[in-house]
C-alpha cells in the first residue's frame, strides 16, 4: 500500500526549515512529496529530463533498473512472453487483469469487428509521396481517426471509452499494414475474421494474389512476443507524451498520435532502425567491432552504440535477453545463420568487456536485437518503429485511462529555471 510514512526536511539559506512528506511505494521505493513546495516556500525543483521526478502514481508497470526487472500489472515480462499472446497482454494492461477464455473470445470478436478502416481514410494513403516515413503516416492517420470516429468528443467520453479503445487497438494494426502496402505500391489486404491479431498483420503485409502465402507460425509466435516486449515501459518519453497531451482532456486518438511522434525519435523508438543501420554499416564498410566500440567511446564524435544504454536500466534490459533468445530461435527454425546477428553478438561481447561501457552501466536494451528479428521476418527497417508503436499502444492506452481516472491528476504544466534577459524596452523598427 502506497503510504506517506516518514518526513524529510529542507533547510534554506536564510535558516528556515521546511518539512516534506516522504511516500513509500509498494516496492519500498521512497519519493519526496513536493506538490506544495512552491506554494509554501516559493522554491521549485530543477530536474532536466525528469530523471529524479515522479509525475504520477501508477499501478500499470514496475521497473527495477538496477536489478533488470520489468513487470506489467505485477506479472514478470518473461512469464508473460512464455504464457500469453499479445491480445491477452493488451487486455491485461488496459483492463487490469488477464482475460479468461470467454473474455478473450469476446475481445477478439470486438477487435475483428473494428479492424476495417473507413473507406475515405484509405484515400489519404495515396496522397503521401513515395518514400514518406511510415511514422509520419501513422501519426497523422491515428489523429485523423478522431475525425471519423468522434464518439469521445460528442457524448460522455466514458460511455464510449471501451469502444474507442478497441477500435484504436484494431485499426492501428490496419493502418500499419496499409502504410507498408502503400510504400510498396501494392493493393491493400483486408483483415480476415479467421486470423489472429498477429497472423492478420503478417497476412496484410505479405499476402499476394500470385503467391500461396500463409503466415509462418514461427514468425507469428515471434511477433506476439515482440509486441509483448514493447507493450509498456512505465513513464518513458512517448508514454509521458500521451499522459501530458491527455491531461488537457484531448481525446485518446490525439494523445496516442503525440506518443507516436515522441517514439519516432532515434533516442527512443527509432533506435531499432538505427541498430540495423549501424550493423549494416559495420558489414558494408568491413569495420571491426573494436573499431566501432572505439568510435562509440570517442567524445569528439556524435556516434553512439545504437541499442546500448538506457535511462533506467543500469544492467541488462530484461527484454534484450528475451529478444536475443528469440533471434536464435527464429534463425534455428529457418536453419540458417545471419551475419547481422553474428556481428551484433560480437559487438555485445566487445562492449560488455570494455571499461568505458562497464563503468557507465551501458548494456544492450530492447532495441539491440528486436530489429534483427523484424529483419528475419522480412519487415523493412522503415517499419520497425511502427511495430514498436503497435506494441506500445496498449501501454499508452492504459496510461491515458489511468490519468483520466486519477482524482489527484491535473493538467500537466512543469515550471522552469529562467535563463533569459531581464526587462528590455522595444526600440521602434525605424531606429533598430
Ligand atoms: C528506448 O525510457 C524507456 O523506457 C525507453 C524504452 C521504452 O521501452 O520505452 O526502453 C525504449 O528508448 C530504449 C533506448 C533506445 N535508445 C538507444 O538505444 C539510443 C542509444 N542510447 C543512448 O542514446 C543513451 O544510452 C540513452 C539515450 C538511451 C540513455 O541516455 P542517458 O541515460 O541519458 O545516458 P547519458 O546520455 O547520460 O550517458 C551517460 C554516459 C555518457 O558518457 P559520459 O558523459 O559519462 O562520458 O554514457 C554514454 C554517454 O556519452 N552513453 C553512450 C551510450 N549511451 C550513453 N556511449 C556510447 N554509446 C551509447 N549508446
Per residue, the 3-state secondary structure of 359-388, as one string, reads HCCCCECCHHHHHHHHHHCCCCHHHHHHHH
**For position 129, what pLDDT does the model report?**
92
Annotated active-site residue 405? The verdict is no
- The atom of ligand 1 lying closest to the CA of 234 is 4
From the number of C-beta atoms within 10 Å of its C-beta (0-12, 13-18, 19+), residue 309 rates as buried
At 405-415, the pLDDT tens digits run 998 889 999 99
- The atom of ligand 1 lying closest to the CA of 307 is 18
**Marked catalytic residue, from 85, 216, 317, 367:** 367
At 321-335, the pLDDT tens digits run 999 999 899 989 888
Give nearest CA residue, ligand 1 atom 37: 311
> Cβ < 6 Å from ligand 1: which residues?
233, 236-237, 267-268, 271, 296, 304-312, 360, 362, 365-367
Cell representation of residue 430:
525605424
**For position 163, what pLDDT does the model report?**
86
**For position 159, what pLDDT does the model report?**
64
Q: How far is the CA of 309 from the centre of ligand 1 (A)?
A: 4
At 70-102, the pLDDT tens digits run 999 999 999 999 999 999 999 999 999 999 999
Cell representation of residue 304:
553512439
Q: How far is the CA of 361 from the centre of ligand 1 (A)?
A: 10
310 vs 167, 197, 307, 320, 380, CA distance in Å? 33, 30, 9, 12, 25
**For position 161, what pLDDT does the model report?**
80
From the number of C-beta atoms within 10 Å of its C-beta (0-12, 13-18, 19+), residue 259 rates as buried
Q: Which residues of 266-296 are buried (b: 16+ CB within 10 A; e: fewer)?
A: eebbbbbbbbbebbeebeeeeeebeebbbeb
At 99-148, the pLDDT tens digits run 999 999 999 999 999 999 999 999 999 999 988 999 999 999 999 999 99
The pTM for the full model equals: 0.93
Q: How far is the CA of 310 from the centre of ligand 1 (A)?
A: 5
Pocket test for ligand 1, best of 310, 314, 320, 399 (most atoms within 8 A of CB): 310
d(CA 425, CA 205): 60
Q: How far is the CA of 33 from the centre of ligand 1 (A)?
A: 28
254 vs 142, 145, 219, 236, 260, CA distance in Å? 7, 9, 32, 18, 10
Q: Which long-range contacts (CB under 8 A, 24 or more apart) does 277-280 make?
A: 277/306, 277/381, 278/305, 278/306, 278/307, 279/340, 279/343, 279/344, 279/347, 279/372, 280/340
Give nearest CA residue, ligand 1 atom 31: 311
Annotated active-site residue 367? The verdict is yes
**Marked catalytic residue, from 310, 317, 375, 399:** 310
Pocket test for ligand 1, best of 309, 364, 366, 368 (most atoms within 8 A of CB): 309
Residues of the chain below pLDDT 70? 152-159
Cell representation of residue 47:
530536474
**For position 321, what pLDDT does the model report?**
92
Cell representation of residue 341:
546477428
Amino acid at each position: 500500500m502506497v503510504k506517506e510514512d516518514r518526513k524529510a526536511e529542507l533547510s534554506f539559506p536564510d535558516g528556515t526549515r521546511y518539512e516534506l512528506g516522504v511516500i513509500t511505494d509498494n516496492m519500498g521505493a521512497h519519493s519526496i512529496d513536493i506538490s506544495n513546495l512552491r506554494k509554501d516556500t516559493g522554491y521549485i525543483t530543477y530536474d532536466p529530463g525528469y530523471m529524479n521526478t515522479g509525475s504520477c502514481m501508477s499501478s500499470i508497470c514496475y521497473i527495477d533498473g538496477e536489478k533488470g526487472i520489468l513487470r506489467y500489472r505485477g506479472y514478470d515480462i518473461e512469464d508473460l512472453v512464455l504464457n500469453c499472446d499479445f491480445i491477452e497482454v493488451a487486455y491485461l494492461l488496459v483492463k487490469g487483469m488477464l482475460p479468461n477464455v470467454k473474455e478473450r473470445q469476446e475481445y477478439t470478436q470486438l477487435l475483428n469487428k473494428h479492424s476495417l478502416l473507413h473507406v475515405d481514410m484509405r484515400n489519404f494513403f495515396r496522397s503521401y509521396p513515395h518514400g514518406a516515413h511510415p511514422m509520419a503516416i501513422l501519426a497523422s492517420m491515428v489523429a485523423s481517426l478522431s475525425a471519423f470516429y468522434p464518439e469521445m468528443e460528442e457524448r460522455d467520453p466514458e460511455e464510449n471509452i471501451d469502444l474507442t479503445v478497441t477500435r484504436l487497438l484494431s485499426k492501428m494494426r490496419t493502418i500499419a499494414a496499409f502504410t507498408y502496402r502503400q510504400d510498396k505500391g501494392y493493393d491493400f489486404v483486408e483483415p480476415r475474421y479467421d486470423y489472429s491479431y498477429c497472423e492478420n498483420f503478417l497476412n496484410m503485409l505479405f499476402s499476394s494474389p500470385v503467391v500461396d502465402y500463409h503466415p509462418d507460425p514461427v514468425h507469428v509466435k515471434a511477433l506476439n512476443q515482440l509486441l509483448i516486449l514493447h507493450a509498456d515501459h512505465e513513464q518513458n518519453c512517448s508514454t509521458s507524451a500521451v499522459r501530458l497531451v491527455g491531461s488537457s482532456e484531448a481525446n485518446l486518438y490525439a494523445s496516442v498520435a503525440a506518443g507516436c511522434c515522441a517514439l519516432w525519435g532515434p533516442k527512443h523508438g527509432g533506435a531499432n532502425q538505427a541498430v540495423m543501420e549501424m550493423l549494416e554499416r559495420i558489414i558494408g564498410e568491413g569495420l571491426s567491432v573494436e573499431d566501432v566500440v572505439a568510435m562509440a567511446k570517442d567524445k569528439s564524435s556524435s556516434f553512439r552504440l545504437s541499442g546500448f544504454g538506457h535511462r533506467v536500466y543500469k544492467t541488462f534490459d530484461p527484454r534484450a535477453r528475451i529478444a536475443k533468445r528469440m533471434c536464435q530461435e527464429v534463425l534455428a527454425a529457418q536453419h540458417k545463420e545471419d551475419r547481422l546477428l553474428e556481428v551484433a553478438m560480437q559487438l555485445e561481447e566487445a562492449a560488455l568487456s570494455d571499461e568505458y561501457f562497464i563503468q557507465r552501466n551501458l548494456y544492450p536494451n530492447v532495441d539491440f536485437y528486436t530489429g534483427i528479428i523484424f529483419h528475419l521476418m522480412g519487415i523493412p527497417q522503415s517499419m520497425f518503429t511502427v511495430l514498436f508503436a503497435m506494441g506500445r499502444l496498449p501501454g499508452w492506452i492504459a496510461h491515458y485511462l489511468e490519468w483520466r481516472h486519477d482524482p489527484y491528476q491535473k493538467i500537466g504544466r512543469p515550471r522552469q529555471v529562467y535563463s533569459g534577459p531581464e526587462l528590455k524596452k522595444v526600440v521602434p523598427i525605424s531606429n533598430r
